[in-house]
Amino acid sequence: MEKDKLRLLVTTQCPNKCPMCCNNSWDFTKLPVVDHFNYKEVMITGGEPLLFPDQVAILSDAIKNSNVLAYNHEVSVFIYTALADGILTILPYVDGVVYTPHSEKDIESFLKANRAIGLFPETVKNKSLRLNLFANMKALIPKSINLSHWQIKDMIWIKDCPVPHDEEFKRVGKLWERI
């Protein structure tokens, strides 16, 4: 049975080397290659997809356009990332961002992006913003910071990170790589 949500792996490259990373438990060569985008929701993930912001923008536009043309319905496209520096750049192309900081440096980048969002709230109008926070990262965010644009999800490490039952997990035909 077809599912409404697609988790789409576009790259295995990532600047983080988290020992408990979900990707450590996958053999990505065995993931099926996506052959259509007839979904209600597509989540672009990796590795780190924002290592390739231009490709994310092109892919998101292609997914949205192909759905309207081929399937006569709209699709929501979300990006899963740990690179806050690229959030504002990619927002015009996606319906939302799921940001998961991994280090103190990530928190600093996030706070900078969050300030920009606070100064220009129109950039996030009609966008979904989720902030996934592990306890050690949450502790680094000052209590005085306005996070009202974000839905905050407290995170814990889950061994082998199973794909939710209502999602399919597939990959692009050729994974993105830095040359």
pLDDT (tens digit per residue) in 122-157: 989 999 999 999 999 999 999 999 999 999 999 988
| Separation of alpha carbons 155 and 18, rounded Å | 15
| Separation of alpha carbons 44 and 138, rounded Å | 24
pTM as predicted:
0.91
| Separation of alpha carbons 91 and 161, rounded Å | 27
- Where along the chain do its domains lie? 5-171
The per-residue pLDDT for range 81-121, each reduced to its tens digit, is 999 999 999 999 999 999 999 999 999 999 999 999 999 99
- pLDDT for 6 equals 96
CB-based contact 132:100 (threshold 8 Å)? yes
Token match 């061994």: residue? 159
The per-residue pLDDT for range 21-37, each reduced to its tens digit, is 777 777 888 899 999 89
CA–CA distance from 169 to each of 2, 35, 63, 104, 164 (Å)? 12, 12, 16, 30, 9
Written out in words, the top-level CATH class of the domain with range 5-171 is alpha beta
Handedness of CA 113, 118, 119, 124 (dihedral sign): positive
Which token pair is 94? 């996606």
Q: What residues pair up with 78 in beta bridges, in sequence order?
A: 43, 96
| Separation of alpha carbons 80 and 21, rounded Å | 14
Which token pair is 159? 């061994």
φ/ψ of 125, rounded to 5, equals -60, 130
Q: Report, as an integer, the average pLDDT of 48-65.
A: 94
**Count of C-beta atoms within a 10 Å radius of residue 179:** 2
The terminus-to-terminus CA distance of the chain in angstroms comes to 38
